[in-house]
Amino acid sequence: MAKPLKKINRRVFLRETAVITLFGSSGMIGRTAPVWAGERSGKRKLLATPSPMIPPVPAILLTVNGEKDIRDEITVVWTFVINSKPPQVGISVHKQHVALGLIRKHGQFVLNVPTADMAEQFDMVDMNSKKALDKFSLTGLTREKAVKVNAPAIKESPIHVECRVFDEIAVPPVRTMFLADVLATAVHEHVCDENGRLIVASTPFFGMTPGSGEFYTMGKLVGHIGQSLDKDDIKY
C-alpha cells in the first residue's frame, strides 16, 4: 500500500462506542459527544449559513474507465437512490472532478460501497480529487472488472452497484447530475441472505453526515420499513 498521507481533520472516522445515535454507535475524537436525551421542544436557532444538513448520506467510491493518458478513476460523489423498481440511482459530479468527462464518455460506472476499515482510503480519494493520477496505487485498493458494465470495480468493496447512465442534467453553478439504471448488483457472499436481502449487521458500513463532515458506522437497529402496518418483508 502507498505511504499514508498526512491526516486531514476535515472528516474524522468515529470509532464505535456505547453512545448510540440515530445512525451510529460512535465516539467523538477530540470532541464532546452529547447524548441525545429525546428533547424535541427546545428553542430552535437559524444557522448563519444554509446547509444541506440531511444526515446520513452514503459514503460511496465511484469507479469509471479512464482514457489514453488518464488512468481509471476513483472518486467520491454525492449519491442517492431514485427508484427501486426499476432500480435507478443518481450521482452529482463537480465540474472539477476528472470523473465528469469520463462518465460522459463511457456512460457506465460502478458505485463501490466501502467498509469502516476503508475510511482512511476513502478520505485519500476525496482529498486528492485532482492531485493523484492513479488512485488505485495511491490507496492500495485492488482493481477488478465489473460483471455487466464496462468499468473497473474495487475488490475490497463488499457491494458493487453497476450502473449505466440514461440522463444528464446540468445543475448550476458547478455540478452535473447523472441518472443511471442499475444493471447489476454484486456482493460478497456474507452480505445478503439467500433471498438477496441485505444483512446490515454482517458488514461495518459507514456513512457521511453533512453538517459535521464526520463518518459514522451503522449502529443500533431502531425499526424497519412497514413496521406501522406489521409488515416485515419490504426491502426496497
- Give the per-residue pLDDT at 179: 98
Report the C-alpha gap between 149 and 2 in whole angstroms.
Answer: 28
User: pLDDT band at residue 32, thresholds of 50, 70 and 90?
Assistant: low
**pLDDT tens column, 111-132:** 999 999 999 999 999 999 777 7
Report the C-alpha gap between 158 and 154 in whole angstroms.
Answer: 9
In degrees and rounded to multiples of 5, residue 11 shows phi and psi of: -130, 135
> What sign results for the dihedral spanned by CA atoms 93, 97, 100, 103?
negative
- Give the per-residue pLDDT at 36: 63
- Give the per-residue pLDDT at 38: 66
Whether 219 shows a pLDDT value over 90: the answer reads no
- Angstrom distances, CA of residue 53 to CA of 121, 135, 174: 24, 29, 19
* pLDDT mean over 83-109: 96
Report the C-alpha gap between 211 and 82 in whole angstroms.
Answer: 23
Q: How far is CA 153 from the centre of its chain?
A: 14
First to last CA, the chain: 37
The structure's pTM equals 0.84
DSSP class of 34? P
Give me the residue label for grid cell 440511482: 89
SS3 136: helix
Assign domain 55-214 to its CATH architecture: Roll (2.30)
* pLDDT mean over 180-194: 97
SS3 38: coil
DSSP class of 190? G
DSSP class of 20? B
User: Which has more pLDDT, 32 or 150?
Assistant: 150
* pLDDT mean over 185-204: 95
* Cβ neighbours around 1 below 10 Å, total: 9
Report the C-alpha gap between 110 and 180 in whole angstroms.
Answer: 11
Strands 73-75 and 61-64: what pairing?
A: antiparallel
28: burial class by Cβ within 10 Å (0-12, 13-18, 19+)?
middle
Whether 206 shows a pLDDT value over 70: the answer reads yes
User: pLDDT band at residue 37, thresholds of 50, 70 and 90?
Assistant: low
